[in-house]
């Protein structure tokens, strides 16, 4: 019997991701104006602009003259994730997340983690990718990540029809399944890097209570950015590393209520540190 409380955030995330795609698709297919455009730039209810901040950065590097609408849209997105969401774009919005989560799920089912030859790739690669993307944009005079991004290819594919770009989505799936665990979302994707930076100081965070923890390590099994859970069973504190995507999978799988979403309290964190120092 499936215990639905162990899938709460996973189900909510899939609803979020799929309904966004559904509204985008409907905007093109049936002319709805709830959410039109693509993840690069959208219009909500035909009025509020939303723009991908990384696309805007690349356009700036390429030498584009930016319009007020685009800048406003990027500021809205940056403010939302910067204050509330953190890196939630990656797990609640991005359609590639469903592809790489699928690869991860299959990975666990096939015990690939336990068998494969490990390749070590730095998880900081994504930050270098941002720099390279901006340099290439500057040299070629064109937003460089936007022409290879599997995210926009998948997003546009659902809205306007796929084509050969579907191959790239399949490639990401195979790469994450057989080559490198969390390869795309956890190592390479510069958009994830940008959202890590934007959401570094947000308020909504997972908090760990080590007294309740039974060290079953289910959370570390499912976490796509496992390094952020370094405090499990050791210290009661918030998951504050920028790479946490706020996917809530760890909260879902924890049977001991040792992980919960909470509002990050900067003052409290500081006090705890002083308490430890005193002890």
Partner 1 sequence: MKKEVKKVQITPRRRFFTNIAQSASLGVMGGLIWAGYAEKAKGSTLTLRPPAALEEKDFLRTCIKCGLCAEACLHRESNIDKETLQPRPATLKMAQAQDKATLGTPYFIPTQVPCYMCEDIPCVPVCPTGALDVSSVTNEQNELDFSMMDMGLAVVDPNSCIAFWGIQCDACYRACPLLDEAITLEYGRNERTGKHAFLKPIINMDICTGCGLCEKACVTEKPAIFIQPRELALGKPGDHYVKGWDEKDQKRVASQTGKDMTTRTQRSEEKVTDYLNEEVSYD
Binding residues (CB under 8 A) for partner 1: these are: 27-28, 31, 36-38, 40-43, 49, 51-52, 55-56, 59, 62-67, 69-70, 73, 128, 131-133, 135-136, 139-144, 146-148, 152-153, 156, 159-165, 167-168
- The minimum distance between CB 61 and partner 1, in angstroms, equals 10
Q: Which is nearer to partner 1, 136 or 258 (CB)?
A: 136
- The minimum distance between CB 195 and partner 1, in angstroms, equals 17
Q: Which is nearer to partner 1, 139 or 273 (CB)?
A: 139
| Of 177, 249, 208, 192, nearest in space to 13 by CA | 249
Please tell me whether residue 265 adopts helix, strand or coil conformation.
Answer: coil
Q: Which is nearer to partner 1, 102 or 163 (CB)?
A: 163
Please tell me whether residue 43 adopts helix, strand or coil conformation.
Answer: strand
Tokens of 159: 């809205």
Q: Which is nearer to partner 1, 27 or 244 (CB)?
A: 27
Q: Which is nearer to partner 1, 105 or 128 (CB)?
A: 128
- The minimum distance between CB 43 and partner 1, in angstroms, equals 7
- The minimum distance between CB 262 and partner 1, in angstroms, equals 36
Q: Which is nearer to partner 1, 7 or 22 (CB)?
A: 22
- The minimum distance between CB 24 and partner 1, in angstroms, equals 9
Which pairs from 256-261 meet CB under 8 Å and 24+ separation?
256/212, 256/213, 256/214, 256/216, 257/209, 257/212, 258/208, 258/209, 258/210, 258/212, 258/213, 258/214, 259/206, 259/207, 259/208, 259/209, 259/219, 260/206, 260/207, 260/209, 261/204, 261/205, 261/206, 261/207
Q: Which is nearer to partner 1, 175 or 203 (CB)?
A: 175
| Of 206, 188, 216, 190, nearest in space to 245 by CA | 206
Q: What is the Cα 38 distance to its own chain's centre?
A: 17
- The minimum distance between CB 16 and partner 1, in angstroms, equals 20
Tokens of 28: 């093109």
Give the CA distances from residue 183 to residues 117, 121, 123, 252, in Å, rounded to whole numbers and listed in that order: 14, 8, 9, 23
- The minimum distance between CB 179 and partner 1, in angstroms, equals 16
CB atoms within 10 A of CB 56: 22
Provide the residue count of the chain.
279
């Amino acid at each position: 019997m499936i215990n639905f409380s162990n899938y709460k955030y996973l189900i909510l995330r899939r609803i979020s991701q799929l309904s966004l795609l559904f509204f985008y698709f409907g905007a093109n297919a049936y002319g709805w104006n709830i959410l039109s455009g693509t993840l690069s730039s959208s219009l909500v209810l035909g009025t509020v602009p939303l723009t991908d901040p990384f696309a805007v950065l690349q356009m700036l590097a390429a030498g584009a003259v930016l319009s007020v609408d685009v800048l406003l849209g990027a500021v809205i997105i940056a403010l939302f994730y910067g204050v509330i969401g953190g890196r939630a774009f990656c797990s609640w919005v991005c359609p590639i997340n469903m592809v790489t989560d699928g690869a991860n799920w299959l990975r666990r089912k096939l015990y690939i983690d336990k068998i494969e030859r490990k390749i070590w790739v730095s998880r900081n690669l994504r930050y270098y990718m941002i720099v390279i993307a901006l340099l290439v944009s500057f040299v070629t005079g064109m937003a460089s990540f936007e022409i290879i991004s599997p995210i926009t290819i998948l997003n546009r594919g659902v809205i306007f029809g796929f084509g050969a770009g579907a191959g790239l989505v399949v490639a990401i799936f195979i790469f994450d399944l057989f080559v490198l665990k969390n390869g795309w979302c956890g190592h390479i994707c510069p958009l994830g890097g940008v959202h890590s930076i934007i959401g570094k100081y947000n308020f909504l965070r997972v908090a760990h209570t080590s007294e309740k923890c039974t060290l079953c390590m289910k959370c570390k099994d499912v976490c796509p950015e496992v390094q952020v859970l370094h405090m499990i069973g050791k210290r009661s504190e918030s998951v504050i590393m920028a790479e946490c995507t706020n996917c809530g999978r760890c909260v879902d799988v924890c049977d001991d209520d040792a992980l919960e979403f909470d509002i990050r309290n900067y003052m409290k964190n500081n006090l705890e540190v002083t308490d430890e120092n005193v002890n």
